[in-house]
């Protein structure tokens, strides 16, 4: 056994996959052979869903068929919201989402069927229902009226509509679709690894996604986007943001939205795409001050720490301008990533081996218990 210890499993190859790969040298996020940035600029989220689940880029007919299949699964058990309405008002929305996904498993038939077809159908159902749990879970814990899905809207527009209660403008729906795409899949982050570890025990897809939700809650993973927005809202101007960042750095605090385990010496390409989206959205909504403030923050971190923004830094203000409450930033992240995680669970179950790593023990040996009188 190789007893080399790699903290955080950094650069350790944990799986073989045909799903995605982060080619840092060439600044490309490969999704089944396609560049994710190319897809985000020229395709739609449901194209990416089909690519990840079917294994190939869909025709327009296949994409429409897939959308109708997802819409046919919109209905949620009424008992689910009875459960969520019992949660306290101050419940973290990732805990609400995690609870909803876990409870949803109780209504699944043939839960022990791990066949490709059964898992594929579960992935479709989760794509239909997770956005509803995100949106209406938020409304339920606040005793607000639930917003029913609208079949006349696109999948993406309906998701945003259920959150805000307003039919999105075309530019809002397009930007939100890009958001879902860039969050959809990213090789082997902590949440995906957690899901594959859980799936390797032959646990079901709901359990794997529930574990991924628990992982994504942490502010070193998905929760960073909420921290970014909180920081931006604390600073009323570009000068105030620079001062706030410098103060945090002087206290050796971590600035969320910057740095990445993989993109250490160059910008996250997803962040640059979201920066473009923010510029367009801010201009349309007359919120260019927010964009300018974000650019200053990016400049300060590069000057002071040579750090580049990651996806969360520019996605957070985009979500804000779309009318998404800050508490829902991370749940939306998980909803977008549901397709990627589902693809990984499918792949894990198709060619499974139980994850069982070892440790490098550094504790004492040969101790003896004291004699008991």
Active site members: 260, 312
- Tell me the C-alpha distance between 13 and 121, whole Å: 29
- Tell me the C-alpha distance between 52 and 46, whole Å: 10
Cβ neighbourhood burial of 323 (10 Å; 0-12, 13-18, 19+): middle
Residue 82 tokens read as 């009875």
- Tell me the C-alpha distance between 157 and 239, whole Å: 36
Place of tokens 């740095």: 259
Cβ neighbourhood burial of 130 (10 Å; 0-12, 13-18, 19+): buried
Residue 149 tokens read as 């899905």
Question: Quick check: helix, strand or coil at residue 77?
Answer: coil
Question: Quick check: helix, strand or coil at residue 368?
Answer: coil
Place of tokens 């004291």: 370
Length of the chain: 373
Sequence-ordered alpha helix ranges (H) in 43-169: 45-54, 60-71, 78-84, 93-104, 116-141, 155-164
């Amino acid at each position: 056994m190789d007893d080399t210890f790699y903290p955080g499993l950094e650069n350790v190859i944990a799986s073989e996959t045909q799903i995605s790969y982060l080619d840092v040298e060439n600044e490309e996020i490969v999704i089944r052979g396609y560049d994710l940035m190319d897809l985000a600029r020229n395709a739609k989220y449901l194209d990416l869903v089909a690519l990840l689940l079917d294994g190939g880029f869909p025709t327009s007919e296949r994409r429409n068929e897939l959308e109708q299949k997802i819409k046919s699964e919109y209905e949620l058990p009424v008992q689910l919201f009875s459960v969520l309405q019992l949660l306290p008002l101050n419940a973290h929305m990732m805990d609400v989402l995690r609870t909803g996904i876990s409870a949803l498993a109780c209504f699944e038939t043939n839960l022990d069927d791990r066949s490709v077809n059964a898992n594929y159908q579960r992935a479709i159902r989760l794509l239909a229902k997770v956005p509803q749990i995100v949106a209406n879970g938020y409304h339920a814990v606040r005793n607000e009226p639930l917003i029913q899905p609208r079949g006349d809207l696109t999948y993406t527009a309906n998701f945003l509509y259920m959150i805000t209660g307003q039919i999105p403008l075309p530019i809002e729906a397009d930007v939100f679709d890009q958001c879902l795409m860039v969050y959809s899949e990213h090789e082997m982050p902590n949440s995906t690894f957690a899901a594959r570890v859980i799936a390797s025990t032959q646990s079901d897809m709901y359990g794997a996604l529930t574990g991924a939700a628990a992982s994504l809650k942490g502010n070193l993973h998905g929760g960073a986007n909420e921290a970014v927005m909180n920081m931006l809202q604390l600073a009323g101007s570009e000068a105030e943001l620079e001062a706030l960042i410098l103060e945090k750095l002087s206290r050796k605090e971590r600035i969320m939205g910057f740095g990445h385990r993989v993109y250490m010496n160059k910008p996250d390409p997803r962040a640059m795409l979201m920066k473009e989206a923010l510029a367009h959205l801010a201009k349309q909504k007359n919120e260019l001050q927010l964009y300018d403030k974000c650019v200053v923050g990016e400049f300060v971190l590069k000057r002071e720490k040579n750090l580049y923004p990651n996806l969360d830094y520019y996605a957070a203000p985009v979500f804000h301008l779309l009318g998404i409450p800050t508490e829902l930033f991370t749940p939306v992240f998980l909803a977008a990533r549901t397709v990627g995680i589902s693809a990984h669970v499918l792949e894990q179950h198709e060619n499974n081996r139980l994850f069982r790593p070892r440790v490098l023990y550094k504790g004492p040996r040969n101790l003896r218990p004291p004699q008991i009188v």
